[in-house]
Chains A and B, each alone.
Chain A
């Protein structure tokens, strides 16, 4: 095994991103789609931190981008779950196939 470096972290990040994309394509339940989106956002964060550590160690901009992405992801998850609960109340289901018309 070789010493892990930037390329290893980029590999993990790309793998996480496409695992998330796979889940996004196959899942039909809104909560599991939200989980896939969280995986994608986490892969982006990992990318930012890896680039910051290995390419620009004299700056901290990647770190700040990660902090702001985490904050925005929290807001996004909260709004998405509010929408999901509202949808469940009106349709008794959170399957995307059953939410074709977005009004009731």
Chain B
């Protein structure tokens, strides 16, 4: 057993345990913190696969952005120290059953299928290669989706401001 294998299992266990705690704990603030650690574990898995750029994006956007946004919205909408209400046992059991059956089905299908990879010359996912293909307009370039996502982000930004703005009575 090499160090790389050991680190992989460590990261996998860290991610999954924190994810389970994030959906199982009854304190909403702790749930957010467990979610943060789970996302860091996934970033670690990207580092383990040597996709450093994606790992950096994951840390910046998810850990630094979305989790902080979630924590702020918890501050804005929850009373401190309140526990989430306990769910009905029946609902919990049936949810667990549904999730477990889906998981078993998926894993069964995955392990039955044998994937055939290709052994062509690998492209290193360096920032230079990513940038060239991201803004390329040739075949395989992603310039158009890039622009569309820019417009989507702008629309989301404006939409958030409009939705969350406090409406003043009778300003028209």
Contact = CB atoms under 8 A, between A and B. Distances in A.
- Do the two chains bind? yes
Interface of A: 1, 3-4, 6-12, 14-23, 25-29, 31-32, 34-36, 38-39, 42, 45-46, 49-50, 53-61, 63-64, 66-68, 70-79, 81-86, 88-89, 94-95
A25 B125 CA distance: 37
B5 interface: yes
Given A18-B100, A31-B70, A39 B35 contact: yes
A3 B5 CA distance: 6
Interface residues of B, number: 83
Contact of B122 (A57, A64, A66, A81): A57
B123 A35 contact: no
Interface of B: 1-2, 5-6, 8-9, 12, 15-16, 19-20, 22-23, 28, 31-32, 35, 38-39, 42, 45-46, 49, 51, 53-54, 57-58, 61-62, 65-66, 69-70, 73-74, 76-78, 84-85, 87, 91-92, 94-96, 98-100, 102-103, 106-107, 110-111, 115-118, 120-123, 125, 129-130, 133-134, 140, 142, 145, 149, 152-153, 156-157, 159-161, 163-164, 166
Contacts of A57: 117-118, 120, 122-123
B61 A4 contact: no
Most chain A C-beta atoms within 10 Å of own C-beta, residue among B20, B70, B152: B70
A71 B91 contact: no
A81 B69 contact: yes
A8 B134 contact: no
Nearest to A41: B62
Given A19-B19, A85-B164, A12 B45 contact: yes
A66 B130 CA distance: 12
Contacts of A7: 110-111
22 contacts: A3-B5, A6-B115, A9-B45, A15-B16, A16-B38, A18-B102, A18-B106, A26-B23, A34-B70, A35-B23, A35-B70, A36-B23, A38-B39, A49-B49, A60-B130, A61-B140, A63-B53, A79-B156, A81-B164, A83-B163, A86-B164, A88-B77
